[in-house]
Structure 1
Amino acid sequence: MQTASFTGFIRVLFYILAFYYIFKFLAKLFLPLLVKKVVQKAGENYQQQQNRTQDTSWKKTQSSDQVIYNTSNSNKPRETKKVGDYVDYEEID
């Protein structure tokens, strides 16, 4: 059975600190590049999805042969809904 020595403890502590600072340094170098790449890939996926939805909706409108014009409502302006009655108030002195 081996016993822990002070020099072994210091060596392990040194390795842990060295690994921490090396990892921290490498993260500062490569993490911005990685994040930029992920954001760029997400943007490309979004663009592809938008293009697919626009293409399918355009094909649906192209495939329908009927064009319907609603001419009955074009002469009349749209009426606003009337809610309640208008009450004119007068100031009393």
Structure 2
Amino acid sequence: METLLRTLLIILIAYYALKLIIKFATPYFLKYIQKKMGQRMEGFFGNMEQPQKQQEEGKITIDKVPSKNSKNSNVVGEYVDFEEID
């Protein structure tokens, strides 16, 4: 009987100790994860930034010239005239 009580007491103490450790360790663990994810995002999106060129005031530059071969793309299809049959 004594070993049963001793075992239950050890299990209860271990359970509450683990619960207490998790309660206090969780914020530090989440901060660590947040920091690592921030570094990953910074590495991923940091490469996408393009440096802006400083231009002289009043100078105009054109990055893309529109093509001259553009057709009217509003053509949907052929028109078919229907007649009613009695």
| Same topology, TM > 0.5 | yes
Q: What is the deviation of 1:38?
A: 0.7
SS at match of 1:54: coil
- Does residue 28 (structure 1) correspond to residue 23 (structure 2)? The answer is yes
**Runs of 4+ deviating beyond 6 Å:** none
* Structure that is richer in helix per residue: 1
Q: Output the amino acid matched with 2:15.
A: Y
Q: What is the deviation of 1:82?
A: 2.0
Q: What is the deviation of 1:85?
A: 5.7
Q: Matched residues in 2 for 1:10 and 1:21: separation?
A: 16
The unaligned stretches of length 5 or more in structure 1 are 1-5, 59-67, 87-93
State how many pairs are aligned. 69
Q: Matched residues in 2 for 1:69 and 1:16: separation?
A: 73
Give the equivalent residue in structure 2 for 1:38. 33
Q: Matched residues in 2 for 1:16 and 1:78: separation?
A: 79
Q: What is the deviation of 1:8?
A: 0.7
Q: 2:45 aligns with which of 34, 37, 50?
A: 50
Q: 2:11 aligns with which of 12, 16, 19?
A: 16
TM-score norm. by structure 2 comes to 0.58
SS at match of 2:48: helix
Q: Cα distance 1:84–1:14, how it changes in 2: closer, same or farther (>3 A)? A: same
Q: Cα distance 1:24–1:69, how it changes in 2: closer, same or farther (>3 A)? A: closer
The unaligned stretches of length 5 or more in structure 2 are 52-62, 80-86
